[in-house]
Amino acid sequence: MSETRRIAGAPIGAAQEAGPANQGTEGADLTQALIDRDTWTDAEVAASGIPMEDVDLVSVGGGLGSFALADTLRIAGLGTGQIRVLGDNSSPTATYEYLAANSQIPEHERLRSDAGSVMDNIWGFPSYALREAWTDKSLKAVWQVVTEPILAEYYTPRAGQVYASVRREAARIGWEDMLRLGFVRMIRKREGGGYFVVHTPQGGSGGAKRHIYRTNFAHIAVGYPGVAFLPDLQEYRERTGDYSRVVNAYEPHDHVYAETRTRPCTIVVRGSGIVASRVLQRLLDDYESGAQIRVIHLFRNYVDGPQGDDPKFKRPGRNGFAYQAFNFPKSAWGGQLRYALEELEGDARSELLDKMGGTNTAPRKSWSDQLERARKAGAYDQAVGKVVSVEAMDDGSAIRTRVATSAGDEHVIDAQFIIDATGLLARIEEHRLMADLLDHSGVGKNPKGRLDVERHFEVRGAASGPGRLYASGSMTLGGYYAGVDSFLGLQYAAQRIADNLAEQGLGKKLGTGRSVQQWVRWARNKTP
């Protein structure tokens, strides 16, 4: 762990000047002087006694964002020794799987992702549809992907297929060799260029308390800091301490479904995005197999028709939902809307993002048919309005939600559970590492309040001499690329970052020859 190598991009001789990486002392910790200073010198870090290691690139997160970048760079020619991935799970899909499972997408269900958004294959070929056809020995998936969305609904892959293929690719690229488990406490600029990444290794017993990586290039893809609640539900939870009857769809909440099997339950679902659709499907599947469930779907904004006045930019909408296949129009990932967004700054960019994105769900006939069946049977009702209050009833039998309708009436809904399906916490300052960066490194926020990055995903204001800091994933929404929080978006970001790294002197740009050669190696499951 004490290998000494030149920091990529630094002038020749810099490593000597900087002094070798050191073994440090176990138990050595950050000093207050270091914590208070924005920029650290090699001497200060050496004096702290914290073990230090030089590496070309550190990726913080260890989830799908780190995986996409590591995969791209390994294919472009970097070795496992040049990359360190710092994360808190051994599998890059762990967090995704956790959130997907909680939001009621078991492995056999399909994600909301395009056939070509192939997480384990940077080329997008062969698509999930072709592979499913191959595995199932059936042309059904091929027919669907060839005729989508004209004669068939969009093909989307099963969650289990995505996870299994990422595990295979992770093994192929040597993920375990690059990964170090633990938490990243902070990233601070280094006097003379580059960064110090302060890591708290997992395991504790026997190992060092802290470990520092000295690097010229760092990448952050830490995802969402947590789950978010609507303000009235957040207030209810804080006031009552009741965390089991008001739940977020992304938290474990199987007890809700379990209780509906033992007694009649009314459940309020808040939200009208894809997660709400999933939760409604789970509840109504249970209802249709005998559970005594009544769902009240509460909308704040009710979509009763197509959105937009421009005939060239009108999104379908009905029955409360805005519909589109993916979370943005397809061309936002690699077509004309990607170019359009790249040209915009500030509020104009924010407005286009809102127009293309916002709350929406996938148009699936099975879902709308099920809602219609349940509505006729009296198991699914919709309510629209602004929540006035959420109170636990004195006898503990229900939670009462008072809703003010636009007509000026008040509407009362008593329910055993409220499921908040409105999303995840996106305030970046809630994340410890992000908060530290905002305070100490000169980075800023974009028009959506998230981390401000360039078109090539370099974090603005974070350059340190020849050193560059990059970020990808959900924390960069509001930048020049819409689909940051998606498989394909993570791959796009990885490609832009890898190309920029090549310009900075780390690695080479992937050209046609190597691309084809590497694709063949991928197909044969050989190391890059």
Partner 1 sequence: MTPTLFGRIQTRLFLVATVGVLWTLLIGPALAGMMSDPDATTGDVYRLAFGALVLVAVVGIGWELIYHALQQYRWEKDWPTFFGLVTGLPEGIVVALLLGAGLPWDVGDVPLGAYTVHFATTWVLIWLVANGPMQVLFPRWRFRGGQLL
Query: Whose CA is closest to 159, among 487, 419, 421, 423?
Result: 487
Nearer to partner 1 among residue 143 and residue 183 (C-beta): 143
How far, CA to CA in Å, does 265 sit from each of 278, 291, 413? 18, 9, 13
User: Which of 147, 397, 405, 527 lies at the binding interface for partner 1 (CB under 8 A)?
Assistant: 147
Minimum Å distance from CB 71 to partner 1? 12
Q: Tell me the window of 14-22, 96-104, 116-124, 443-451 that interacts with partner 1 (CB under 8 A).
A: 116-124
Nearer to partner 1 among residue 24 and residue 116 (C-beta): 116
How many other C-beta atoms are found inside a 10 Å radius of the C-beta of residue 172?
A: 18
Q: Phi and psi at residue 128, in whole multiples of 5°? A: -55, -35
Nearer to partner 1 among residue 192 and residue 473 (C-beta): 473
User: Which of 338, 450, 456, 468 lies at the binding interface for partner 1 (CB under 8 A)?
Assistant: 338
Please report whether residue 77 would count as binding partner 1 according to CB under 8 A. no
Amino acid at 296: I
Please report whether residue 456 would count as binding partner 1 according to CB under 8 A. no
DSSP 8-state symbol, 442: -
Please report whether residue 27 would count as binding partner 1 according to CB under 8 A. no
Minimum Å distance from CB 72 to partner 1? 9
Distant-in-sequence, close-in-space partners of 377: CB < 8 Å, separation ≥ 6: none
Query: Whose CA is closest to 363, among 154, 56, 101, 505?
Result: 154
Please report whether residue 312 would count as binding partner 1 according to CB under 8 A. yes
Length of the chain: 528
Please report whether residue 62 would count as binding partner 1 according to CB under 8 A. no
Nearer to partner 1 among residue 250 and residue 492 (C-beta): 492
Q: Tell me the window of 125-133, 156-164, 259-267, 393-401 that interacts with partner 1 (CB under 8 A).
A: 125-133
Please report whether residue 479 would count as binding partner 1 according to CB under 8 A. no
Nearer to partner 1 among residue 337 and residue 403 (C-beta): 337
Q: Tell me the window of 27-35, 119-127, 293-301, 457-465 that interacts with partner 1 (CB under 8 A).
A: 119-127
Nearer to partner 1 among residue 60 and residue 490 (C-beta): 490
User: Which of 33, 146, 377, 412 lies at the binding interface for partner 1 (CB under 8 A)?
Assistant: 146
User: Which of 339, 391, 503, 505 lies at the binding interface for partner 1 (CB under 8 A)?
Assistant: 339
DSSP 8-state symbol, 115: T
Minimum Å distance from CB 263 to partner 1? 44
Through-space distance between the first and last CA atoms of the chain, rounded to whole angstroms: 23
- Distance CA(464)–CA(196), nearest Å, equals 11
Minimum Å distance from CB 173 to partner 1? 16
Minimum Å distance from CB 174 to partner 1? 21
User: Which of 324, 361, 441, 476 lies at the binding interface for partner 1 (CB under 8 A)?
Assistant: 324
Q: Tell me the window of 16-24, 117-125, 164-172, 413-421 that interacts with partner 1 (CB under 8 A).
A: 117-125
- Distance CA(492)–CA(481), nearest Å, equals 9
Minimum Å distance from CB 496 to partner 1? 9
Strands 195-201 and 211-215: antiparallel
Please report whether residue 525 would count as binding partner 1 according to CB under 8 A. no
Minimum Å distance from CB 471 to partner 1? 18
How many other C-beta atoms are found inside a 10 Å radius of the C-beta of residue 461?
A: 12
Query: Whose CA is closest to 59, among 479, 446, 490?
Result: 490
Dihedral of CA atoms 244, 250, 252, 258 in degrees, nearest 10, equals 70
How far, CA to CA in Å, does 242 sit from each of 181, 215, 262, 444, 512? 33, 45, 21, 36, 58
Q: x/- string (CB under 8 A) for partner 1, residues 484-503?
A: --------x--x--------
- Distance CA(436)–CA(440), nearest Å, equals 6
Distant-in-sequence, close-in-space partners of 254: CB < 8 Å, separation ≥ 6: none
Please report whether residue 358 would count as binding partner 1 according to CB under 8 A. no
Taking a C-beta distance cutoff of 8 angstroms, is the pair 498, 510 a contact? Answer: yes
User: Which of 12, 108, 151, 366 lies at the binding interface for partner 1 (CB under 8 A)?
Assistant: 151
Q: Tell me the window of 254-262, 291-299, 327-335, 374-382 that interacts with partner 1 (CB under 8 A).
A: 327-335
Distant-in-sequence, close-in-space partners of 288: CB < 8 Å, separation ≥ 6: 370, 373, 374
How many other C-beta atoms are found inside a 10 Å radius of the C-beta of residue 500?
A: 19
Please report whether residue 329 would count as binding partner 1 according to CB under 8 A. yes
Nearer to partner 1 among residue 12 and residue 150 (C-beta): 150
Dihedral of CA atoms 239, 243, 249, 255 in degrees, nearest 10, equals -150
Nearer to partner 1 among residue 49 and residue 473 (C-beta): 473
Q: Tell me the window of 29-37, 228-236, 261-269, 507-515 that interacts with partner 1 (CB under 8 A).
A: 507-515
- Distance CA(360)–CA(276), nearest Å, equals 10
User: Which of 19, 79, 124, 320 lies at the binding interface for partner 1 (CB under 8 A)?
Assistant: 124
Q: Tell me the window of 53-61, 80-88, 118-126, 423-431 that interacts with partner 1 (CB under 8 A).
A: 118-126
Strands 179-190 and 83-87: parallel
Amino acid at 118: V
Please report whether residue 175 would count as binding partner 1 according to CB under 8 A. no
DSSP characters over 295-337: EEEEESS-B-S-B-S-TTS-B-EETBEEB-SSSS-THHHHSHH
Please report whether residue 400 would count as binding partner 1 according to CB under 8 A. no
Interface residues toward partner 1, by CB under 8 A: 116, 122-127, 130, 145-151, 311-316, 324-325, 329-331, 333-339, 492, 495, 510, 512, 515-516, 519
